[in-house]
């Protein structure tokens, strides 16, 4: 069963090829997760993004937050993000996540679900955008690496709530040690319900250190 799932994972890779009218970005991140007690963690993440076929610096952000895990399969987190763009524009973003997962042991799968409420402010402190985001994912458990796929929808909340954007991701994660986990992923992002939607292909690399 594991081999069949891995073959399915590889078969999906061609769907993530880049079209000629899409930009290519590189997202690189490092995350630190500090255990406060059995149920609470403090988390700090730094990410840098490069655009225009990975030739131009686009922005970076610093994200701080707390993750509360009252049950083994459920967690609640709240985060504040400071975003610095290449043109020196700075703005804030806050979000609240509710995450759950199910371990399907017979199939060696972990099913994941996350919902997010997201609010951003511009550099003058005025409310910019509000989103409701829903994400699902599937991980394949193996002895060496963890392949995964995920899909996410964005609903923009304003005078008229509408489906605004979607993301599809395929990637692999692996443990370098008991405390360090790394990931590599490919992502497709595009706007919805627009005549000329923006489309984006993303290569992502990241590392997380738990202590």
User: Are residues 92 and 121 in contact, defined by beta-carbon separation less than 8 angstroms?
Assistant: yes
Task: State residue 197's pLDDT score.
Answer: 85
Q: Could you give phi then psi for residue 125, rounded to 5 degrees? A: 90, 5
Span 2-210 CATH architecture: Beta Barrel (2.40)
CA atoms within 13 A on the CB side of 11: 6
Higher pLDDT among residues 108 and 12, named by residue: 108
Mean per-residue pLDDT, 59-64? 97
Q: Give the integer Cα–Cα distance in Å for 173 and 193.
A: 33
**Closest CA relative to residue 205, chosen from 63, 28, 47, 49:** 28
DSSP helix/strand/coil, 7: helix
User: Are residues 180 and 5 in contact, defined by beta-carbon separation less than 8 angstroms?
Assistant: no
Query: Is the full-model pTM beyond 0.75?
Result: yes
pLDDT tens-digit series, residues 164-188: 999 999 999 999 998 999 999 999 9
Does the structure show a pLDDT above 60 at 162?
Answer: yes
pLDDT tens-digit series, residues 71-113: 999 999 999 999 999 988 889 999 999 999 999 987 778 899 9
Q: Could you give phi then psi for residue 5, rounded to 5 degrees? A: -65, -40
Does the structure show a pLDDT above 80 at 20?
Answer: no
> What is the domain partition of the chain in residue ranges?
2-210
Does the structure show a pLDDT above 70 at 45?
Answer: yes
Task: State residue 11's pLDDT score.
Answer: 58
Task: State residue 122's pLDDT score.
Answer: 84
């Amino acid at each position: 069963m594991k081999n069949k799932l891995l073959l399915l994972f590889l078969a999906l890779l061609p769907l993530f090829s880049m079209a000629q009218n899409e930009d290519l970005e590189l997202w690189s991140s490092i995350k630190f997760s500090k255990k406060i007690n059995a149920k609470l963690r403090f988390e700090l993440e730094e990410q840098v993004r490069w655009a225009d076929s990975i030739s131009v610096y686009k922005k970076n952000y610093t994200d701080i937050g707390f993750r509360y895990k009252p049950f083994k399969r459920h967690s609640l987190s709240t985060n504040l993000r400071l975003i610095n763009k290449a043109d020196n524009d700075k703005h804030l973003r806050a979000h609240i996540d509710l995450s759950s997962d199910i371990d399907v042991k017979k199939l060696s799968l972990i099913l994941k679900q996350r919902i997010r409420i997201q609010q951003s402010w511009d550099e003058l402190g005025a409310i910019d955008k509000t989103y409701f985001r829903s994400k699902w994912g599937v991980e394949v458990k193996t002895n060496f690496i963890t392949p995964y796929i995920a899909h996410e929808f964005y609903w923009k909340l304003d005078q008229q709530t509408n489906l605004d954007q979607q993301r599809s991701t395929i990637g692999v994660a692996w443990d370098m040690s008991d405390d360090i986990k790394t990931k590599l992923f490919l992502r497709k992002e595009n706007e919805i319900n627009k005549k000329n939607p923006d489309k984006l292909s993303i290569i992502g690399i990241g590392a997380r250190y738990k202590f």
